Amino acid sequence: MEQFSSRIFSIHQIATVIKDARNARGWTQEEVAAQTGFSRVWINRFEQSVISDPSFRRILAMCDVLSIDLSASYAPGKQVLPTRRHSRQRAKGSASKALEGDERTIRPQTVREAAAILESLARGTENGTVTANEENSL
The range of the structural domain enclosing residue 111 comes to 84-136
CATH number, position 33:
1.10.260.40
- Summarised one tens digit per residue, pLDDT across range 92-125 is 555 555 545 444 455 556 667 776 677 767 776 4
> Do residue 88 and residue 124 come from a single domain?
yes
CA atoms within 13 Å, Cβ hemisphere of 5: 2
Helix, strand, coil content of the chain in percent (nearest 5): 60, 0, 40
Q: Structure pTM?
A: 0.53
Neighbours of 28 (CB within 10 A): 13
Helix (H, G, I), strand (E, B) or coil at 74: coil
What is the spatial distance between Cα 24 and Cα 27, in angstroms, rounded to a whole number? 8
Whether residue 3 lies inside any domain: the answer is: no
pLDDT at 1: 59
In this model, does residue 76 exceed pLDDT 90? no
> Do residue 91 and residue 127 come from a single domain?
yes
- Summarised one tens digit per residue, pLDDT across range 49-70 is 999 899 999 999 999 999 999 8
CB 128, CB 120: distance < 8 Å: yes
> Do residue 16 and residue 54 come from a single domain?
yes
Whether residue 41 lies inside any domain: the answer is: yes
Task: Say how many domains are in the chain.
Answer: 2
